[in-house]
Amino acid sequence: MAENVAALMQLARKHHQGGQLRDAETLYRRVLAIQPRNAEALHFLGYMLFQAGRPESGLEMIERAIAIDPKRADFHCNRGVVLSTMRRHEESIQAYRAALALKPDFAEVYYNLGTALHAKRQTDEAIDAYRQALNLRPNYPDAYNNLGTLLQMKGRLEESAAAYRQALKLQPNFAESAFNLGHVLRNLGQLEDAIASFRQAINIRPNYADPHYFLGNALMSKGDWDEAVAAYRRALALRPDLVEACLSLAAALRNRGEFPEALKFYRQALVLKPSTPEIYYSLAQTLEVNGDMEEAIEAYQQALKLRPEYVEAQNNLGNVMKDTGRVEQALYWYDRAVTQRPAADVSHSNRLYVLHLIPEFDPATIFQEHLAWYRRHAAPLSYEIPQHSNPGAAGSDRRLKIGYVSPDFRQHSVGFFLLNLLANHAPAAVEVFCYSDAARPDAATARFQQAAHHWKPVVGVADAQLAQIIIQDQIDILVDLAGHTAGNRLLVFARKPAPIQVSYCGYPDTTGLATMDYRFTDAYADPPGATEQYHSEQLVRLPRCFLCYAPPADGPEVGPVPATAAGRITFGSFNSISKLSDATVAMWSQVLSAVPNSRLMIKGQGLTDAPVRQQVLERFAAHGIAADRLELHSSIASLAGHLELYHQIDIALDTYPYHGTTTSCEAMWMGVPVVTLAGKTHASRVGVSLLSNVGLEQLIAQTPEQYVQIAADLAKDLAALSVLRSALRSRLAASPLLDGSGLAREVEAAYRVMWKQWCESAKKA
């Protein structure tokens, strides 16, 4: 009989090890029918039942085996394995400890104990258990891998990387360790090595989806959009339900400007996780840049329905409302965001900007709102302001270090007014540092980089860290080029990393910061005595124009007056439709009424959307202007295509109270005269500066009635309009508005005065 049981056990074990579990179970039960207290058969039957997906039955059998033979360490070990799988981790830990009490040199039990302790989040004890396993079995790659994971969790990245490398040394085809090593290396900032590790994991196991996904993330960090897209696509091919890869692929496609394809994957992600506000938010962002404004609004609203306190969605919904001309609704959403999160400085800045688009807000109120922004967001950082050293022997006549901070060193409206200044700085007078936050550099970025003595990309660099970089660079005068517009770094200027700080060009008003010393303007945009009380900065009026336009080198030539061929006058405005205030619509309607058969062309972001177009048409209809007298265009991607549209415009109409700047310069460069209405603030007087410096003061109106009359008079005399059109480009080229060298000398002289005054005050301190 004993020989028969031994043979049955041998055959049962053979079937068990070969994966023939049903046959093994039959044989184990035959043994137990002969010997009900055969602990070996009970143990193996129990483990086999566990492997077959019946852990409760398996646990019962193993515990019966232990009751018969409690001194078997392997029985206790496998009991622990089954309990761990059943998530009964505390009991599994007790089982492993019982096994170790019987067999202290049992490496596998230490490994399993480490796994159970990890599950209980007893990280330090788990690390000790894995180390014990490795002391007993130094060639244990799984233990090295799991030890690496725990060390990574503890932030001990160098030790973690060493553990993963040891696992790979022992088992070169260990895909998980190669993958895990890639994670650690990326966190250590070793991006190229991380990419190599992810590729190693993929080479070992090509159908392993996770390394493809994380390889894509690493490539994205490197700015390699094309390879990142390919990696994400492979991850999704392997795991179509990997929503993270779906979202990252969409983001990469968006970065490449492939918005329709990106939208496809955001929508696919929503199918996988339909109630996720973050996905609706990302979808809305992409719809927005694709020009699908109404769909973007719906997506932001859906995100807010799922998460009413979603501040980022509130802010961006405000942006879309602004960009589609619904400025009061924009203000509502910015207010919601700031109320929800008082520390939301970006939403608060957006709120300040939109106030300039609503005529009901007077300059004094807007100024107080800027001061409130300073008190809430910037003043608390005053303790970080360093003590700037006395210039000492270097003197006040030495070469100055000038730092320019901007997100717009790229193809951007602000960028058109920066390049001529930077490119014409005298190297003997100033050393130019550019701190660029341009997230998507382009051909224009390369021109800015060439103009700078020191080019410093700072995308993603925290405000405090950037302030320290500027201090280390020993900048003498730091210049803000963004104000309260998108991507600004006002919280860097709040820390005052340079002894002198200046606001210039990018924003039509004060920053409100007590740490901003000066603001560049001119006597046309800010007449002496008119606006000083609305600025926290000291106004520095440059002698001529505070701006210098850089026209495109390959722009189209000026065309003839289109009214000659069309038989009618076409007025036009290519300003953002956020500037279409009620006052502007009323004036333009009066112009159209005063010039029979004339038309008005409006181009702006969002005008592809039927509801936005209808809203614009209805606003003019309220003033008696039929829809067939309006021609609405959305944004044109190419600059050349945008400028060529001026071939269809006879006269450009400026907006009020927020004037155009780039659009007015572009119009004049294309030979199209601009009619503007002078206001009382900088935002409503930029047109005054531009036209005065070109010698076209006769196109500046002081009242709405005069604005209408000037436009109507221009429209009556096509011969005079033709002469003006043919001469306007050369007139612009000869004006201060294109004199980059002259502006650079004026700005440098202003910098020198500022510096000398600071040196004198520093000596007295």
> What does the block give as tokens for 208?
């392993």
Angle ∠(510,503,677) on CA atoms, nearest 5: 55
Reported as type and span, the H/E element at residue 535 is none
Is the per-residue pLDDT at 765 higher than 90?
no
pLDDT band with cut points at 50, 70 and 90 for residue 25: confident
Q: What is the CATH number of the domain that holds 518?
A: 3.40.50.11380
Three-state DSSP at 234 gives: helix
Task: Tell which phi-psi region holds residue 714, choosing left (phi > 0), alpha (psi between -120 and 50) or beta.
Answer: alpha
How far is residue 274's CA from residue 280's CA, in Å, rounded to a whole number?
A: 9
> What is the residue range of 441's domain?
398-542
* pLDDT average, residue stretch 290-318: 96
The rounded percent of the chain whose pLDDT value lies above 90 is: 84
How far is residue 735's CA from residue 90's CA, in Å, rounded to a whole number?
A: 83
* pLDDT average, residue stretch 744-757: 97
* pLDDT average, residue stretch 519-523: 98
Q: Do 572 and 535 share a structural domain?
A: no
> What does the block give as tokens for 294?
């109404």
> What does the block give as tokens for 237?
């091919």
Is the link from the previous residue into 560 a cis peptide, with omega within 30 of 0?
no
How far is residue 397's CA from residue 682's CA, in Å, rounded to a whole number?
A: 33
Helices 209-222 and 243-255 meet at what angle, rounded to 10? 30
Beta bridge partners of 602: 573, 632
Domains contained in the chain, number: 4
How far is residue 108's CA from residue 216's CA, in Å, rounded to a whole number?
A: 36
Q: Do 38 and 85 share a structural domain?
A: yes
Instruction: Reduce the secondary structure of 22-89 to three states and give it as a string.
Output: HHHHHHHHHHHHHCCCCHHHHHHHHHHHHHCCCHHHHHHHHHHHHHHCCCCHHHHHHHHHHHHHCCCH
Q: What local confidence, expressed as pLDDT, does residue 655 receive?
A: 97
Reported as a single tens digit per residue, the pLDDT across 650-693 is 999 999 999 999 999 999 999 999 999 999 999 999 999 999 99
* Domain-terminating residue out of 355, 379, 414: 355
Q: Give the list of residues 6+ apart from residue 120 with CB closer than 8 angstroms, or none.
A: 89, 90, 93
Q: Do 323 and 182 share a structural domain?
A: no
Is the per-residue pLDDT at 49 higher than 50?
yes
Q: Do 580 and 514 share a structural domain?
A: no
Q: Quick one: how many helices (H) and strands (E) in the chain?
A: 35, 13
Q: How many Cβ atoms from other residues are within 10 Å of residue 760's Cβ?
A: 11
Reported as type and span, the H/E element at residue 630 is strand 630-633
Q: Do 666 and 581 share a structural domain?
A: yes
Q: Do 531 and 599 share a structural domain?
A: no
How far is residue 198's CA from residue 204's CA, in Å, rounded to a whole number?
A: 10
Q: Do 38 and 95 share a structural domain?
A: yes
Q: What local confidence, expressed as pLDDT, does residue 24 receive?
A: 86
Q: What local confidence, expressed as pLDDT, does residue 618 receive?
A: 97
Q: Give the list of residues 6+ apart from residue 49 with CB closer than 8 angstroms, or none.
A: 25, 55, 57, 58, 61
Residue 383 lies in a domain: no
> What does the block give as tokens for 411?
């193809």
Q: What local confidence, expressed as pLDDT, does residue 179 receive?
A: 95
Reported as type and span, the H/E element at residue 619 is helix 610-621
Reported as a single tens digit per residue, the pLDDT across 692-710 is 999 999 999 999 999 999 9
Is the per-residue pLDDT at 3 higher than 60?
no
pLDDT band with cut points at 50, 70 and 90 for residue 1: very low
Q: What is the CATH number of the domain that holds 703?
A: 3.40.50.2000
pLDDT band with cut points at 50, 70 and 90 for residue 609: confident
Q: Do 573 and 529 share a structural domain?
A: no
443 vs 195, more confident = 195
Three-state DSSP at 683 gives: helix
DSSP string, 369-395: HHHHHIIIIIGGGGGG---PPP-GGG-
How far is residue 415's CA from residue 288's CA, in Å, rounded to a whole number?
A: 22
Q: Do 312 and 426 share a structural domain?
A: no
Is 258:290 a contact under the CB 8 Å cutoff? no
Reported as a single tens digit per residue, the pLDDT across 566-607 is 999 999 999 999 999 999 999 999 999 999 999 999 998 888
How far is residue 321's CA from residue 46's CA, in Å, rounded to a whole number?
A: 66
> What does the block give as tokens for 351?
């709120």
Three-state DSSP at 631 gives: strand
List phi, psi (to 5°) of 373: -60, -45
List phi, psi (to 5°) of 688: -60, -45
Q: What local confidence, expressed as pLDDT, does residue 577 receive?
A: 93
Residue of 686, 390, 398, 373 whose CA lies nearest to 527: 686
How far is residue 667's CA from residue 708's CA, in Å, rounded to a whole number?
A: 19
Q: How many Cβ atoms from other residues are within 10 Å of residue 377's Cβ?
A: 21
**Weakest mean pLDDT among 81-90, 373-382, 621-630:** 81-90
Residue 233 lies in a domain: no
Residues in the chain: 765
Is 574:642 a contact under the CB 8 Å cutoff? yes
Is the per-residue pLDDT at 416 higher than 90?
no
pLDDT band with cut points at 50, 70 and 90 for residue 452: very high
> What does the block give as tokens for 707?
């604005």
Reported as a single tens digit per residue, the pLDDT across 52-103 is 999 999 899 989 999 999 999 999 998 999 999 999 999 999 999 999 999 9
How far is residue 291's CA from residue 314's CA, in Å, rounded to a whole number?
A: 19
How far is residue 321's CA from residue 418's CA, in Å, rounded to a whole number?
A: 29
Q: Do 437 and 333 share a structural domain?
A: no
Is 575:413 a contact under the CB 8 Å cutoff? no
Reported as a single tens digit per residue, the pLDDT across 164-177 is 999 999 999 999 99
Q: What local confidence, expressed as pLDDT, does residue 393 receive?
A: 44
Three-state DSSP at 623 gives: coil
Strand 570-573, strand 599-603: pairing: parallel
Residue 749 lies in a domain: no
Q: What local confidence, expressed as pLDDT, does residue 394 receive?
A: 59
Q: Do 328 and 291 share a structural domain?
A: yes
DSSP string, 112-137: HHHHHHHHTT-HHHHHHHHHHHHHH-
Q: What is the CATH number of the domain that holds 306?
A: 1.25.40.10
Q: What local confidence, expressed as pLDDT, does residue 728 receive?
A: 98
Q: What is the mean pLDDT of the chain?
A: 94
How far is residue 268's CA from residue 718's CA, in Å, rounded to a whole number?
A: 56
Residue 427 lies in a domain: yes
Three-state DSSP at 142 gives: helix
Highest mean pLDDT, choosing among 28-37, 215-224, 670-679: 670-679
Residue of 277, 325, 338, 408 whose CA lies nearest to 580: 325
Q: Please name the amino acid found at residue 686.
A: V
| Long-range contacts at 170-175 (CB < 8 A, ≥ 24 apart) | 170/139, 170/140, 170/141, 170/144, 171/141, 173/204, 174/141, 174/145, 174/204, 175/201, 175/204, 175/205, 175/208, 175/211
Residue 94 lies in a domain: yes
Beta bridge partners of 630: 600
Reported as a single tens digit per residue, the pLDDT across 468-520 is 999 999 999 999 999 999 999 999 999 999 999 999 999 999 999 999 999 99
List phi, psi (to 5°) of 477: -130, 120
Reported as a single tens digit per residue, the pLDDT across 233-266 is 999 999 999 999 999 999 999 988 899 999 999 9
Gyration radius (Cα) of the chain, Å: 36
Residue 284 lies in a domain: yes
Is the per-residue pLDDT at 411 higher than 80?
no
DSSP string, 415-466: GGGTHHHHHH--TTTEEEEEEE--SS--HHHHHHHHH-SEEEE-TT--HHHH
Q: What local confidence, expressed as pLDDT, does residue 307 receive?
A: 97
Q: Give the list of residues 6+ apart from residue 657 with CB closer than 8 angstroms, or none.
A: 356, 357, 359, 581, 583, 679, 681, 683, 684
pLDDT band with cut points at 50, 70 and 90 for residue 413: confident
How far is residue 218's CA from residue 505's CA, in Å, rounded to a whole number?
A: 37
How far is residue 280's CA from residue 306's CA, in Å, rounded to a whole number?
A: 9
Q: Do 732 and 604 share a structural domain?
A: yes
